[in-house]
Amino acid sequence: MNIRFLGTSHGVPLPKRHCQSFLIETDGGDYLFDAGAPVMDILINENYDLKRLRAVFVTHMHSDHFTGLLDLTCLASWYYKDMNFQVFLPEQGGITAIKSYSAAIYSNLSKRVQLKLFSAGEVFSENGFTVLAYHTDHMDATSNIAYGFLVKTSKKSVYITGDMHRTLKDFNPLLATEKTDLVVAECAHFEPSALFEKLKDCKTAAVAVVHVFPVEKYEQLKALAPKLPFKMLFPNDGDVYKV
């Protein structure tokens, strides 16, 4: 599979970096993880075959992971009529927001765009492509909820941390025992050294660090990279990695 980085920024966009969004491309179709970037604009700009999109998964309801979905779902409904995909949201508020936006712009949400709530555990599985959600404490100051995702095919697996708690108490312990091919980790809510302490025990072939704030942390992360027993990658928007 390929992972295409559509947006690698933290809470707000930066020059040449949209907010968080990644597309995982497989032979059987593609899957979007978070939609903080203007996803539809980017895909159109890349002459992407929109029929390939099978499902969208949102880690949590912060704007830097969600707002691109408003346009994606509405444009798929009224204009791009060969699109047909499911959207998995962690809270009812996300479903309400998409429906309200659609109504406000005098658009009807198509049945081809299916909005679904998910919770921890297996979220989705088709043709050997499986997504499992793991709770994080990123939003523990409120009653809201946030998740990381483990994405598996028969041969490969990718873990997306989502946004985590400032103490990293919710860094998924599974990553120290289960082999993964790539971990996509955020680095906005804690120091790079704290993330390094968690990463060094991971049984992964590589880590891609995204959602970095402030951007000065890139230098600290690059200094730590040679001490890890696997590759540390620093994707920019538009980069594609083969997993």
Using CB under 5 A, list all residues that contact Zn ion.
Answer: 62, 64, 163
List, as one string, the DSSP characters of 219-240.
Answer: HHHHHHGGGSSSEEE---TT-E
Give 21 or 86: the residue with its C-beta nearer to Zn ion: 21
Where do the DSSP E strands lie in 104-239? 113-117, 121-126, 129-136, 146-152, 157-160, 182-187, 206-212, 231-233
Q: Tell me the C-alpha distance between 108 and 67, whole Å.
A: 18
CB of residue 127 vs Zn ion: minimum separation in angstroms?
Answer: 30
Question: How far apart are CB 210 and Zn ion at their closest, in Å?
Answer: 10
Q: Which residue is nearest to Zn ion (CB)?
A: 62
CA distance 209 to 191: 13
Nearest CB to Zn ion, comparing residues 62 and 198: 62
Nearer to Zn ion, 83 or 162 (CB): 162
Residue closer to Zn ion, measured from CB, 3 or 35: 35
Q: Is 134 helix (H, G, I), strand (E, B) or coil?
A: strand
**Nearest approach, Cβ of residue 164 and Zn ion (Å):** 9
Minimum Å gap between C-beta 13 and Zn ion is 12
